[in-house]
Amino acid sequence: MAKAKSYYFCSECGYQSSSWLGRCPECGKFGTMQEEVIQASKPSKTAKGNATTGVSKPKPIHEVSTSETQRIPTQCAEFDRVLGGGIVPGSLLLLGGEPGIGKSTLLLQTALAIPGKRVLYVSGEESEQQIKMRADRINNGGETDCYVVSETVTQRILECVDEVKPDLLIVDSIQTICTEAIDSSAGSISQIRECTAEFQRFAKESGIPVLLVGHITKEGSLAGPKVMEHIVDCVLQFEGDRNYGYRMLRSLKNRFGSTAEIGIFEMQGDGLREVENPSEFLLSQRDENLSGCAIAATLEGARPMFIEVQSLVSTAVYGTPQRNANGFDFRRLSMLLAVLEKRCGFKLGAKDVFLNIAGGIRVNDPAIDLAVACAILSSNVDIPIPPRYCFAAEMGLSGEVRPVSRVEHRIAEADRLGFEKIFVSKYNARSLNKKRFGLEIVEVSVIEQAFRELFA
Ligand code: TYD
Ligand code: MG
């Protein structure tokens, strides 16, 4: 028997070295090299076949046929939107997310719902009985052509594929899968890298798309080396606050579509439900006439999303005022507070400031800034903002109100939802045809102007 060899792998980039190094020469990170025992056994049949089969010949690009790359629609509009219109044959997708967020539920639900396609759902985490129990819970009642197996070795998974001949392979999760070609334990960097590469080879050669589930580390990145994200065609992330029902599916990388789109779901007792119109949903529980609330007209991808920003400003009890932000970047909050303090003369230095985005939603759109600033000001002076007002503008360091992208889109949606006034930047309003809209468009260029308009 061959002597067990150990190698060192960088947990960040997957760099391999035969000796321990304090700093990875590839990515420059310190203290990331981890030892792994590897025993290269005889190359398996599949590995050998892959190296020699499929002799590729270059051909002119116009001769490459795209007719066979018909996307497989998932029957779930939100999922398809994020994918860019369905699953591309031969692609390798990675779905990441925190434990318990609903990755397995989303994929099993998808597997059960795809019409006329055979799906093989491989789980390394749950037994077949547990998968069946989950499927009963989701209970879509329709005809399904879904096979399940509890398996952790790639070679045996590929044998199952030969037997079942599915149109889609789902593997939950990559961290529990191992290959016989390498002797280290499942979940180690070398295993993850090798298994991902094996699935990629399989997908490209057979044309069967593979959906992998990946775990997330406590820092929030996908567990495993970065090379895994380079290998796969799409990286999707499932996120949300576990205390709320909402879940968002984002795409961090997509070779076949836009990464700006998001899908919104709600976790219910019988699986995930698609949320088509998030604004109406998020605003429905709004209580009128409370100070510290403002509505932001944000865009996620091409879709407008109106969300409520809540803020509480109170006198600081301790010497150092407290600041807390839920669903909003903490450093951005500090910056906005500094702007309000320095440029506009609001004395927030001796106040505690708490900020919350309703519904447990996290927003990346900078157009939320003005709503955040106005919510803080409203709580500070204890005067409510009328419930039919909304805001769409970014704020600059000198207190100027800056334009945002696709403002007509936001205004049109505000109009549709029945808002009376929308606050936008003066520079956005210039090119607008205001007669098109039924609501009043308030142009502001600096934050004091908005303050006077609202609270004076
Ligand atoms: P799961 O898909 O197991 O999460 P992951 O695979 O990302 O770890 O989701 C588990 C959570 O979802 C669990 O807390 C229970 C909840 N859930 C529902 O609320 N309704 C359902 O129909 C299902 C199947 C799960
Ligand atoms: Mg799971």
Ligand positioned closest to the Cα atom of 124: 2
Whole-number Å distance, alpha carbon 173 to ligand 2 midpoint, is: 7
How far apart (Å, rounded) are the C-alpha atoms in residues 96 and 109? 16
Strands 234-239 vs 210-215: parallel, antiparallel or unpaired: unpaired
Structure tokens at 37: 């025992």
352 and 311 Cβ atoms separated by less than 8 Å: no
10-24 pLDDT, tens digit per residue, is 888 888 888 888 998
362-381 pLDDT, tens digit per residue, is 888 899 999 999 999 999 99
Residue 443: what pLDDT? Answer: 92
Residue 1: what pLDDT? Answer: 46
Q: What CATH code would you report for 73-274? A: 3.40.50.300
Residue 379: what pLDDT? Answer: 92
- Give the residue, out of 243, 267, 273, with the most ligand 1 atoms within 8 A of its beta carbon, to mutate for a pocket test: 267
Q: Residue 220: is its pLDDT beyond 60?
A: yes
Cβ of 132 closer than 6 Å to ligand 1, yes or no, is no
Atom of ligand 1 nearest to the CA of 101: 7
Structure tokens at 208: 């069967």
User: How high is the mean pLDDT of the chain?
Assistant: 85
Nearest CA to ligand 1 atom 9: 102
Cβ of 100 closer than 6 Å to ligand 1, yes or no, is yes
* Beta strand extents in 246-331 (DSSP E only): 246-254, 262-268, 271-274, 293-300, 303-315, 323-326
Residue 53: what pLDDT? Answer: 47
Q: Residue 51: is its pLDDT beyond 50?
A: no
How far apart (Å, rounded) are the C-alpha atoms in residues 443 and 434? 11
Atom of ligand 1 nearest to the CA of 271: 22
Nearest CA to ligand 1 atom 16: 102
* Lowest-pLDDT range of 66-75, 91-100, 233-242: 66-75
97 and 263 Cβ atoms separated by less than 8 Å: no
Cβ of 303 closer than 6 Å to ligand 1, yes or no, is no
Q: What integer is the mean pLDDT of 341-348?
A: 77
Cβ of 250 closer than 6 Å to ligand 1, yes or no, is no
| 131, 326, 351 from 305: Cα distances, Å | 34, 18, 30
Interacting residues of 82 by C-beta distance below 8 A, sequence separation 6+: 236, 249, 250, 251, 254, 257, 261, 262, 263
The DSSP result for 85-118, as a single string, is SSBPTT-EEEEEE-TTSSHHHHHHHHHHH-TT--
Residue 48: what pLDDT? Answer: 41
What are the phi and psi torsion angles at 312 (to 5°)? -130, 120
Ligand positioned closest to the Cα atom of 125: 2
Q: Specify the higher pLDDT residue, 207 or 300.
A: 207
Residue 364: what pLDDT? Answer: 82
How far apart (Å, rounded) are the C-alpha atoms in residues 360 and 243? 8
Whole-number Å distance, alpha carbon 287 to ligand 2 midpoint, is: 37
Q: What CATH code would you report for 281-455? A: 3.30.230.10
Q: Specify the higher pLDDT residue, 217 or 33.
A: 33
Whole-number Å distance, alpha carbon 175 to ligand 2 midpoint, is: 11
Whole-number Å distance, alpha carbon 211 to ligand 1 midpoint, is: 18
Q: What integer is the mean pLDDT of 113-141?
A: 88
Whole-number Å distance, alpha carbon 104 to ligand 2 midpoint, is: 4
Q: Residue 80: is its pLDDT beyond 70?
A: yes
177-205 pLDDT, tens digit per residue, is 999 888 888 888 888 888 999 999 999 99
Amino acid at 126: E
Residue 152: what pLDDT? Answer: 92
Question: With left for phi above 0 and alpha for psi between -120 and 50, is residue 54 left, alpha or beta?
Answer: left
Cβ of 267 closer than 6 Å to ligand 1, yes or no, is yes
pTM of the model: 0.75
Atom of ligand 1 nearest to the CA of 269: 20
Cβ of 270 closer than 6 Å to ligand 1, yes or no, is yes
Whole-number Å distance, alpha carbon 101 to ligand 1 midpoint, is: 6
Cβ of 351 closer than 6 Å to ligand 1, yes or no, is no
Tokens 């985005």 belong to which residue?
357
What are the phi and psi torsion angles at 352 (to 5°)? -80, 140
Q: Specify the higher pLDDT residue, 106 or 54.
A: 106
Whole-number Å distance, alpha carbon 198 to ligand 1 midpoint, is: 28
- Give the residue, out of 105, 132, 170, 242, with the most ligand 1 atoms within 8 A of its beta carbon, to mutate for a pocket test: 105
Residue 395: what pLDDT? Answer: 94
Nearest CA to ligand 1 atom 21: 271
296-333 pLDDT, tens digit per residue, is 999 887 778 888 999 999 988 877 888 999 889 999 99
304: which DSSP letter? E
287 and 278 Cβ atoms separated by less than 8 Å: no
Integer distance in angstroms from the first to the last C-alpha of the chain? 84
Nearest CA to ligand 1 atom 18: 269
What are the phi and psi torsion angles at 309 (to 5°)? -105, 130
Structure tokens at 299: 């865009």
How far apart (Å, rounded) are the C-alpha atoms in residues 365 and 382? 27
How far apart (Å, rounded) are the C-alpha atoms in residues 83 and 140? 22
Atom of ligand 1 nearest to the CA of 97: 7
